[in-house]
Structure 1
Amino acid sequence: MKLPGHDAIARQADEHLVTHRVRLPKRVVERPVRQVGKRLALALLVLVATVLIVYADREGYRDSSDGSVDFLDAAYYATVTLSTTGYGDITPVSDAARLTNIFVITPLRVLFLIILVGTTLEVLTERTREEWRLNRWRSTLRDHTVVVGFGTKGRSALQTVCATGLKKQQVVVVDPSAKVVDAATADGYAGVVGDATRSEILKRAEVERARQIIVATQRDDTAVLVTLTARQLNRGAKIVAAVREEENAPLLRQSGADAVITSASAAGRLLGLSVLSPAAGMVLEDLIQQGSGLDLVERPVIKTEVGRGPRETDDLVVSVVRGHRVLGYDDPSLGALQLTDRLITIVRATPGTQVTPHARPLPTD
């Protein structure tokens, strides 16, 4: 397979790139129009209260033009005082009026100014809060899962992995599309917008400290470059990648992928099986779909099963994982089950059932 140049892929991704910032799941807040309406109503309430206070003590104020203060003068004085304009044509002259200005109107003026600049203060506060959340997120993120590509394959892989009890806070989605990342954050995942073939983008996803990396890009050449970059940054992470064409699978393994899923071959296998045996095709599709019907599950051997054969357990065992080997249930070299073995079984699953981390479902597509 001939790979296009790295720069060409980067330029192609940049066409859809909006920002490289990390996006954390947003918290539910009020609509901006409603927030502005509340502030205006509060500012008007402060103004009305000030007008009434000044008008109630109008004998303690003097207007330089006619000497008396009416309701219009009280409203005028309240407006220029709260806005800190202060023309000086109306002034408090009595002790009561001056004390009222010190202990009542001045705090109201401060409150009025806070309301006026509330939007700016909220923006600064929100930026500080988001910066704090981002720093806290980076400092606590360890042994997480990075998903490159949040299309159909990426979403399905996440659903399967999260069925083991993986928390959404332990997942970071990387995708070049801002809309896709917004969809991921809406689902509760952290997201990074950018081209995952670039090391700086994967570093924003803290890939150096990730436990597992799922590569589910739309193109095989992109998957190869992402796998190469991820493996350079993290030598110990488990990398599982998907490709469309089977001929590209060996290249992905050479790039550092621990497991490669060929989507085109899997789909073709399902199509051919459905032609030969529709019922068998339905069973295989049932195994592929997570959370209903039948599921493939990997679990440890329990003490009561040690020394037995695979067919002597209560579950339907299809394979046994021993060390780095996967042995069929009828493999002559298998012998009796050992405590360090893991069993791959077929179990009945129901919607909403969560699989424990000790018995995790296996991706089959």
Structure 2
Amino acid sequence: MPVLPSATLKRKSSLPVWISIGWRVLAVLALLGLAVGVHWLERDGLKDAADGHVSFLDILYFTSISVTTTGYGDIVPVSNSARMFDAFVVTPIRVFVVLLFLGTAYNFVLKRTWDKWRMAVIQRTLSGHIIVAGYGTTGSETVDELIARGTDRGRIVVIDTREENLGRAKECGCTVLQGDATRDQVLKDVRIESAESMIVCAGRDDTSILITLTARHLAPAIPISIIVRNEDNELPARAAGATTVVNPVSFAGLLLASSCKGPHLSEYLMDLASFHGEVELSERPVRTEEIGKPLTAIQTGLGVRLYRDGVAHGHKAPEAQALRAGDLIVEIVTG
């Protein structure tokens, strides 16, 4: 799957649109007022080719024409001070006003149209991707591990509410979406119904469980992995639809307890969990040539467990003496 361009759905501004446009209008009026005031004070330095008299209406006309165009030549500055003011003040005002109106048109028309078009293009190509809801410390490490294991960066879609987090995700080559993953529309925007899997690490157990619940009702079959920090929340996470629940506190406790029995056990367990270790845990479907053979006879690694119809069986269990089609094998392979 090709690397997709990044799409960021910006958070809605806290200011109403009319205020955003209003301050631009006020800025233009203030600059016009400044130019009108100085031109009025310097009216003796202006010459009207029509009647030779420069009135206040002539000043308004000359200022508006000078700010928006280069003028028609019917009223011209003739004194040095008037010419210097037009050259070094009115001309920059003209450039600023043009840029201000162009920026307004870009922000409120062109940019929104462009963002919607780019989002539609990306959405049409999203399929078989991995959604990561939350790009804090855990989320970023998860993405790094996915990339290290060979996952195409363009297949990873990161959802987060914080723009700085999304900036780091974009640097990794991920597709990003700024929004609240507890909302149906946000998950629909990343085409959760066609995703391969979803990882939820929002930073708060209640938020992560709500994201899982939202994702499950939109995509009933998608595998969802969630991290919870409170042991009491493991059951609610599973009830919400999580297929895998990870508790880092419990895992850390296992590592610490193992280190009491041997100083190298925790190191080996970390090697198993990480792609960068010398050994790695891998899960795969049974191969055709392995059907009927015992789990201990596989050639790709050390078979330690198999899953048959969702039930786990150790390598010494009777079920592990003859592999069947549809079995999932968990093995230890060398890095």
The alignment's TM-score, normalised by the length of structure 1, stands at 0.60
Q: For 1:282 and 1:174, how far apart are their aligned partners in 2?
A: 32
2:201 aligns to what? 216
Report the Cα offset of residue 242 of structure 1: 0.8
CA spacing shift, 1:342–1:191, aligned 2, 3 Å: same
Verify: 1:158 aligned to 2:143, yes or no: yes
1:245 aligns to what? 230
CA spacing shift, 1:183–1:215, aligned 2, 3 Å: same
Q: For 2:279 and 2:231, how far apart are their aligned partners in 1?
A: 27
Report the Cα offset of residue 244 of structure 1: 0.7
SS of alignment partner, residue 333 of structure 1: helix
Give 1:185-204 correspondences, 5 Å limit: 185-204=170-189
Give 1:11-50 correspondences, 5 Å limit: 19=11
1:98 aligns to what? none
2:308 aligns to what? 322
1:333 aligns to what? 319
CA spacing shift, 1:157–1:342, aligned 2, 3 Å: same
1:347 aligns to what? 333
SS of alignment partner, residue 318 of structure 2: coil
1:96 aligns to what? none
Greater RCO structure (CA 8 Å; 6+ sep):
1
Q: How many residues align?
A: 249
Q: For 1:233 and 1:305, how far apart are their aligned partners in 2?
A: 37
Q: Deviations over 1:53-110 (max 9, x none)?
A: xxxxxxxxxxxxxxxxxxxxxxxxxxx9xx7645399xxxxxxxxxxxxxxxxxxxxx
Report the Cα offset of residue 20 of structure 1: 5.9
Report the Cα offset of residue 158 of structure 1: 2.6
Unmatched runs of 5 consecutive residues or more in structure 2:
1-8, 14-65, 76-94
Equivalent of 1:256 in 225, 241, 246: 241
Equivalent of 2:272 in 287, 308, 323: 287
CA spacing shift, 1:209–1:301, aligned 2, 3 Å: closer
In the alignment, residue 230 of structure 1 is paired with which amino acid? A
Q: For 1:307 and 1:341, how far apart are their aligned partners in 2?
A: 11
Q: 8 Å contact 2:149–2:275 — kept in the other structure?
A: no
Unmatched runs of 5 consecutive residues or more in structure 1:
1-16, 22-79, 90-112, 350-365
In the alignment, residue 309 of structure 2 is paired with which amino acid? G
Identity %: 32
SS of alignment partner, residue 272 of structure 1: helix
In the alignment, residue 273 of structure 1 is paired with which amino acid? S
Q: 8 Å contact 1:310–1:329 — kept in the other structure?
A: yes
Equivalent of 1:172 in 143, 152, 157: 157
2:62 aligns to what? none
Q: For 2:307 and 2:186, how far apart are their aligned partners in 1?
A: 35
CA spacing shift, 1:306–1:236, aligned 2, 3 Å: closer
Q: For 2:112 and 2:200, how far apart are their aligned partners in 1?
A: 32
Report the Cα offset of residue 204 of structure 1: 3.0
Q: 8 Å contact 2:295–2:315 — kept in the other structure?
A: yes
Q: For 2:12 and 2:270, how far apart are their aligned partners in 1?
A: 38
Give 1:119-158 correspondences, 5 Å limit: 120=102, 129-158=114-143
SS of alignment partner, residue 281 of structure 2: strand
SS of alignment partner, residue 132 of structure 1: helix
Verify: 1:234 aligned to 2:219, yes or no: yes
2:25 aligns to what? none
CA spacing shift, 1:211–1:304, aligned 2, 3 Å: closer
What RMSD in Å do the two structures reach over aligned CA positions?
3.1
Q: 8 Å contact 1:245–1:265 — kept in the other structure?
A: no
Verify: 1:265 aligned to 2:250, yes or no: yes
Report the Cα offset of residue 348 of structure 1: 1.5
In the alignment, residue 19 of structure 1 is paired with which amino acid? R
In the alignment, residue 340 of structure 1 is paired with which amino acid? G
SS of alignment partner, residue 330 of structure 1: coil
